[in-house]
Amino acid sequence: MDNFELNYSNFSHAEENYVKTIYHLSEKGEDVSTTAIADELKTKPASVSDMIKKLAQKKVINYVKYKGVNLTEEGEKIALWIVRKHRLWEVFLVEKLKFNWDEVHEVAEQLEHIKSKRMIDQLEEFLGFPKFDPHGDPIPDKEGKIHFIPAKPLSEAPIAKTLKVVSVSDGNPELLRYLDKVGVAIGSQLEIVEKIAFDDSIELIIDDRDTRLVSKIVADNILVVD
């Protein structure tokens, strides 16, 4: 508990990125593979193998050779601390500096490594204790607690029900600009009219106004609740 108070200054920029990546890849539950990490960090499996050993020694991940890794409690705390910073900075950029939601992720990737607990807690207060970032992702509180909304991808949602957009993946600016164009935002109401079996594309009504066809890959990246 008190560990989260620290700034974790004994972790390098690179180590933090690995921990954060393992956290995100773990969200599906299973152990994370070397190649998955390499793909995500745009590096090579050989580099990942090296770093994994170091992180295991530092006790932030559990590692069994050839079996993949998962975060220890300590590792998860570090990951949540980085995620908290990332998302609060994204809110700041959108709410205060007039950034569009497709422009914040890259800068937040840098800002998330700035070490100052004090600054982040003050920033959170300054922003009015936001619960979600501009892409609908929940912001861990100062104790590292995070509250997930049970949502599913639009691609797996039922037909002919009123759905609400909870979050969208923030990594790809092109997707976000596309959503701007078609008028999908956090909180938008969607209703699936038809699922085209041939290519899994989806025809839907947006906010009771426009009818649109979106591809499977777009639908995979929009999380909704009904």
Partner DNA sequence: TTATCTATTTTATTAAAACAAAAAAAATCA
Partner DNA sequence: TGATTTTTTTTGTTTTAATAAAATAGATAA
Location of structure tokens 């957009």? 165
How crowded is the C-beta side of 8, counted as CA atoms within 13 Å? 23
The answer to the question of residue 109 lying near DNA (CB under 7 A) is: no
Check binding of 52 to DNA (CB under 7 A).
Answer: yes
Q: Quick check: 48 binds DNA (CB under 7 A)? A: yes
Residue 209 near a copy of itself by CB under 8 A: no
Q: In what order do the strands lie in the sheet with 152-153?
A: 152-153, 222-225, 162-168, 189-196, 201-206, 210-214
Among 20, 84, 85, 135, binds Mn ion (CB under 5 A): 135
The residues facing 68 across adjacent strands are 64
- Residue 46 touching DNA (CB under 7 A): yes
CB-count exposure of residue 92 (10 Å: 0-12, 13-18, 19+): buried
Decide which of DNA, Mn ion, a copy of itself, none touches 126; Cβ closer than 5 to 8 Å per partner kind.
a copy of itself
- Mark the segment that binds Mn ion (CB under 5 A) among 47-55, 57-65, 97-105, 117-125: 97-105
Choose among 149, 155, 148: nearest CA to 225.
149
* 103 near a copy of itself, judged by CB under 8 A: yes
Task: Select from 28, 42, 65, 98 the one that contacts a copy of itself (CB under 8 A).
Answer: 98
Minimum gap (Å) between residue 95 Cβ and a copy of itself: 10
Structural contact between residues 226 and 215, judged by C-beta atoms closer than 8 angstroms: no
The residues that touch a copy of itself, with contacts defined as CB under 8 A, are: 93, 96-99, 103, 106-107, 110-111, 114-116, 118-119, 122-123, 126
